[in-house]
A and B are shown apart, each in its own frame.
Chain A
Amino acid sequence: MPTSSFKIRLFSVLKSKLKVASIELKTTEEITAGGLMDLACEQYPPMAPYRSIMRLAVNQKYVQDSNRLQDGDEIAIITPVSGG
């Protein structure tokens, strides 16, 4: 199984905690949206306290945690928004 690499955009509180606007994760297995967020929290522990309030956006649409990811997807982790 080839390695998949996902660039994940960060915003708001996660961007501030990690001091970067994106992170890159590699996986050799098929992965779901929830799996990718779990992996992100393992590799970047400052994200872990926010795990329960994360939603993944894939190709600029929110997805369920069970959604499978494809190589090349545009990915962002979204915490509860506060526009308005």
Chain B
Amino acid sequence: MAENSNQRWINLLQEPVDITSAYRFLQTPAAGGISIFVGTTRQWTDGQETISLAYESYEPMALKEMHRLVDLAENHWPVHRTCLLHRLGKVPIAEASVLIGVATPHRPEAFKASRFLIDQLKIQVPIWKRELFSDGQEIWIQGANLPDPPNS
């Protein structure tokens, strides 16, 4: 395989995120660094206990936005492999809800691309989290920012 042929694995999952498979996918001789960020479901937020957590998505659009973000990352940094996985439906406490993985020649761009992808995913990709708290409250969580139209 040519060194410059980038590969990506982008998916929405109903099953647990398989971190080992993601790592295997990211391995390439072109990379000197692989960064894997895993977002997990937190039990306590500001003294409130979360009992369970579920994600819903506008799936076809979510996949398109994930691809668009990877396009942007590939335009900014020499990213040889990218992995963006998000789990949907119920995710038990402490399990992985999202995985961002990048393989780059050197570590600075691995950290930068990974940070960009998770930060942008949390603003742009149409996925929403519903939390059930121990006091019986069940609420949709809303992000702080409206998603941006491209090129705005």
On chain B, the residues within 8 Å of A78 by CB distance are 58, 126, 147
Cα distance, A16 to B128, chains bound together (Å): 12
Q: Measured between alpha carbons, how far is A54 from B126 in the docked complex, in Å?
A: 12
Interface residues in A1-17 by Cβ distance below 8 A to B read: 9, 11-13, 16
Which of chain A's residues have a CB closer than 8 A to the CB of B144? 80
Contact with A along B125-152 (1 / 0, CB 8 A): 1111110000000001111111111101
In the assembled complex, B102 has its CB within 8 A of some CB on chain A: no
Given contacts A12-B140, A62-B150, is CB(A81)–CB(B128) below 8 Å?
yes
Select B128's contact among A55, A60, A64, A83, beta carbons within 8 Å.
A83
Is there an interface contact between A84 and B98, defined as CB atoms closer than 8 Å?
yes
How many residue pairs between the two chains, A and B, have CB atoms under 8 Å in the bound complex?
92
- The dominant DSSP class at the B interface is mixed
Total interface residues on A, using CB and 8 Å? 22
A60 with B64: in contact, given A12-B56, A16-B140, A83-B125 (CB under 8 Å)? yes
State the interface size on chain B (CB cutoff 8 A): 35
A57 to chain B, nearest CB (A): 6
Contacts A/B (CB < 8 Å), 20 sampled: A11-B58, A12-B128, A12-B142, A16-B140, A57-B58, A61-B61, A62-B124, A62-B147, A62-B148, A76-B61, A80-B144, A80-B147, A81-B122, A81-B127, A81-B128, A82-B129, A83-B125, A83-B126, A83-B128, A84-B97
**B residues whose Cβ falls under 8 Å from a Cβ of A:** 39, 55-58, 60-62, 64, 86, 97-98, 118, 121-130, 140-150, 152
